[in-house]
Structure 1
C-alpha cells in the first residue's frame, strides 16, 4: 500500500504532463490560432502584469535614460549623434511606457 501511495502521484503527474501538447493544440484551435487576434486582444493577466510591473519599470527607465542623456549630451554633441542617443535613451522607453497598448508586446514598428 505505501508503494502505491508514492507511485500514484508520479503516474498522475506523468499523465498530466503528457497531455500538455494536446491541451495546447486545443487552445490554439479555439483561439483561431491567428497571431493578430492574440496581439489585438491581450489577456487580462498580461494587462495586469503590464500595469503593475512593466509600466513602472519603463517609466523609471525613461527617467533614468533622460538623466543619462543629459549627462552624456556634451559627448554626443561632439560625436554628432545627439538624435540617436535621444532616441535610444529617452524616446524608445517613453514610447513603450506611454504609447503602447496595455498588455501588448510593442506599440510601434520601426
Structure 2
C-alpha cells in the first residue's frame, strides 16, 4: 500500500490539540494541506504533501511593535501600482472606532 502524508498530518494535528496549540488549515497548492500555527512571536506554515513529505517554514518576530505609519511601507512594497498606492497612502486617514 502506498504511504500517504495523511497519517503524518493527523498525528501532527492530534499533537497540536493535545498541547492546546491553536491552528488553522488551508489549501494553496495541489496535493498539499497547510497547517498554520501562530504562537507568541512566531508563525509556522507546515505543508503536508500527498506523497508523505513535509515542508516547514517559520517566521520569527523581531519583537518590534509598529504603529499605523508602517502601512505606507506595506502598500509601497506590495501594491500592483506603486505610484497609485503612494498617493493613496499619503491621502488616507486610518482611524479606529470604539
TM-score, reference length from structure 2: 0.30
Structure with larger Rg? 1
Greater percentage in helix? 1
Q: Pick 1 or 2: higher relative contact order, CA cutoff 8 A, min separation 6.
A: 1
Greater percentage in strand? 2
TM-score, reference length from structure 1: 0.28
